[in-house]
Amino acid sequence: MTATAIHAPPPRRSGSRTAAIVVASLLGVLSLATGAAGAVALWGDSERDDQGYFSTATHTYTASTSALTTEELDLDADIPNWLAGDDGSYGDVRLKVAAGDGGPVFAGIARTADVERYLAGASSTEVTDIDTDPFDVEYAEHGGAGRPAAPAGEDIWAASTQGPGRQTLDWEARDGHWSVVVMNPDGSRGIDADVSAGVKIGILEPIGWSLLGVSALLLFGAVGVGYAGLRRR
């Protein structure tokens, strides 16, 4: 009696097909995410004004003290190093400041430690929080009986401007701890200023197109992996 050989069926490849579909799905999701990020970057780039700045609306800030200051701007920690230009700058900052009564106003940017030494013993008001819609601002007052010297005579400013009417302050942002200061030119108390801020960042457009390119590559990869997986038997 002759034994009949029994041949086992070839192994099924459903596991490899499933893995391919999973990988293709992940690549598709990544493609959508990077594509959306690229579109947002390009949309943001299109929102610049005719001078290349992203600017806020003009709002009024008031203080009964001798100086109006921002909280410390920590550019060492808050901005990734890869955003810095070849010269180490993080972009251009522009402030437009005008006294509410049309009179003279001073605005300057200096290192926070220098500002604190300059205003030591004088009263100042710090902007601690801003809501944009609707606009609302919170302040913290720091007492002091002294009157600071005229700000324009100090050598602490990285950038400053002074005069009647609307003043424009341009500053090339760099590493460090910085504060913006708005004052009356003579250091007297009582500040009523209309302020808008803008920033110019030249890398949004290349970032946007780069992300769209990565999105396209991921999409091609998803299609290729999915097609290879589905055509397997």
Is the model's pLDDT at 1 over the cut of 90? no
Residue 2 lies in a domain: no
Q: Which helix (H) or strand (E) holds 27?
A: helix 14-46
pLDDT at 167 over 70: yes
pLDDT tens digits, 98-146? 998 889 999 999 999 999 999 999 999 999 998 877 888 999 999 888 8
Residue 58 has pLDDT above 80, yes or no: yes
158 and 212 share a domain?
A: no
Alpha-carbon distance values, 41 to 38, 44, 205, 208 (Å): 5, 5, 7, 5
Average pLDDT over residues 57-64: 92
The predicted model gives 184-188 an average pLDDT of 95
> Do 170 and 212 belong to one domain?
no
Residue 111 lies inside a defined structural domain of this protein: yes
Task: Examine residue 154 and state whether it is found in any structural domain, yes or no.
Answer: yes
Q: What is the pLDDT of residues 142-164, one digit of tens each?
A: 988 889 999 999 999 999 999 99
Say yes or no: 138 and 172 in one domain: yes
Q: How far apart are CA 105 and CA 101, in angstroms?
A: 10
Q: Evaluate whether residue 92 is within a structural domain.
A: yes
pLDDT at residue number 62: 93
Mean predicted confidence (pLDDT) in 218-233: 66
